[in-house]
């Protein structure tokens, strides 16, 4: 079904045959989850290329119109073998994923074929709108993440290191049906919370009076979740408490504005303008959010310099933040599902100011 949808897009754009090198895209289209594969989609005959390690596995996944092609040498030579069968004078390919090395190898192997990189990858566009089965998996991934946060509120105490908490997050996920974290958890205490992508310290201990920013997600049956909460240990610094309330209101305004048809740039500006009105515009440097699915970062990108239209059944994050170097930072993030009239918040952990 997904390949059929892709063929429709490729036909509309005149992009047959289309070479896919991104393993996440290949997984989305075929179910293949190995480490080496290429997929060529043509109007009538398509090929999935891999080596002998995956031959039996791939043949068990094949659907009508897709054949297995054995890669015995260089990948570019296998691609040439498929293009010889298809007999076309040009081939389109993903530009977001291919390495310069592979591109040069393809140019050498496909001397008589015009290679045309495609900037707006149609598979990523398809992936941005989720099917019901995908939504169900994303919903469960978010529910597990909520349960992990509830667990952390009982687990965290002064004297633990940031690393202790990060390890506990990973352990909780794996004990609850997840294969991995979506990304290395961010556990940033005190002044470290002013760095949006802080790395947890093995030695730094949680102390009374700390602000604690936790950004985490899990990989559940191939789909990701994303949640950030900022909490306080024992007491609340007045400045950071005020900043928390600003971020909280900005996040609420942005979430309430999510609906089909809104432009991503407009959505970003709703939170950004609110934060700027309080004088912290320069302290919110990253985008408001991103798509979530097979990968933790997918289309659409919700940033002030990019423009795309939000559609029903997209799953996106809304994550404004304010970061004060040397002082600390606050970020509040939810994963939300775009519905016909607005959105459903999939991550349901409390966003009220929490002191533990």
159 and 303 part of one domain:
yes
Residue 294 lies in a domain: yes
169 and 51 part of one domain:
no
| Per-block mean pLDDT, blocks of 10 residues, the chain (356 long) | 94 96 97 97 96 97 95 96 93 93 95 94 97 98 98 98 98 98 98 97 97 98 98 97 98 98 98 98 98 98 96 98 98 98 98 96
185 and 297 part of one domain:
yes
18 and 91 part of one domain:
yes
145 and 290 part of one domain:
yes
Q: Which of 70, 98, 126 corresponds to the end of one domain?
A: 126
* Spatial CB neighbours of 87, under 8 Å, sequence gap ≥ 6: none
Query: In the numeric block, which tokens belong to residue 202?
Result: 């093995």
Residue 332 lies in a domain: yes
pLDDT score for 203? 96
Residues spanned by the domain of 172: 129-345
Q: Which of 87, 109, 126 corresponds to the end of one domain?
A: 126
Residue 258 lies in a domain: yes
pTM, two decimals, is: 0.95
140 and 77 part of one domain:
no
322 and 196 part of one domain:
yes
Three-state secondary structure string covering the chain:
CHHHHHHHHHHHHCCCCEEECCHHHHHHHHCCCCCCCEEEECCCCEEEEECHHHHHHHHCCCCCCEEEEECCCCHHHHHHHHHHHHCCCEEEEECCCCCHHHHHHHHHHCCCCEEEEECCCHHHHHHHCCCHHHHHHHHHHHHHHHHHHHHHHHHCCCCCEHHHHHHHHHHHHHHCCCCEECCCCEEEEHHHHHCCCCCCCCCCECCCCCEEEEEECEEECCEECCEEEEEECCCCCHHHHHHHHHHHHHHHHHHHHCCCCCEHHHHHHHHHHHHHHCCCHHHCCCCCEEECCCCCCEEEEECCCCCCECCCCCEEEECCEEEECCCEEEECEEEEEECCCCEEECCCCCCCCCEC
The domain that contains 87 carries what CATH number? Answer: 3.40.350.10
171 and 251 part of one domain:
yes
pLDDT score for 1? 84
């Amino acid at each position: 079904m997904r390949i059929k949808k892709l063929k429709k897009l490729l036909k509309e754009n005149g992009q047959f045959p289309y070479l896919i090198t991104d393993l996440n895209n290949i997984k989305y289209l075929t179910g293949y989850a190995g480490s080496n594969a290429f997929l060529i989609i043509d109007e009538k005959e398509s090929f999935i290329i891999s080596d002998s390690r995956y031959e039996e596995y791939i043949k068990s996944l094949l659907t009508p119109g897709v054949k297995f092609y054995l890669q015995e040498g260089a990948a570019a030579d296998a691609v040439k073998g498929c293009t010889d069968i298809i007999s076309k004078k040009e081939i389109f390919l993903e530009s977001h994923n291919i390495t310069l090395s592979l591109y040069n190898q393809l140019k050498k192997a496909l001397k008589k074929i015009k290679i045309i990189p495609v900037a707006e990858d149609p598979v990523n566009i398809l992936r941005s709108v989720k099917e019901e089965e995908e939504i169900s998996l994303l919903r469960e991934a978010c529910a597990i993440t909520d349960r992990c946060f509830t667990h952390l509120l009982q687990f965290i105490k002064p004297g633990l290191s940031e690393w202790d908490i990060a390890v506990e997050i990973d352990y909780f996920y794996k004990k609850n049906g997840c294969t991995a974290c979506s990304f290395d958890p961010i556990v940033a205490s005190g002044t470290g919370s002013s760095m949006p992508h802080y790395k947890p310290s093995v030695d730094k201990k949680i102390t009374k009076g700390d602000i604690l920013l936790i950004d985490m997600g899990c990989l559940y049956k191939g789909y990701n979740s994303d949640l950030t909460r900022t909490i306080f240990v024992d007491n609340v610094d007045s400045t950071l408490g005020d900043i928390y309330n600003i971020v909280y209101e900005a996040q609420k305004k942005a979430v309430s504005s999510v609906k089909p048809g809104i432009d991503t740039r407009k959505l970003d500006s709703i939170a950004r303008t609110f934060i700027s009105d309080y004088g912290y515009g320069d302290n919110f440097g990253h985008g408001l959010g991103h798509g979530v699915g097979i990968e933790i970062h997918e289309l659409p990108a919700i940033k002030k310099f990019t423009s795309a239209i939000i559609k029903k059944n997209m799953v996106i994050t809304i994550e404004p933040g304010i970061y004060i170097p040397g002082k600390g930072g606050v970020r509040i993030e939810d994963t939300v599902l775009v519905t016909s009239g607005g959105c459903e918040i999939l991550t349901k952990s409390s966003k009220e100011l929490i002191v533990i």
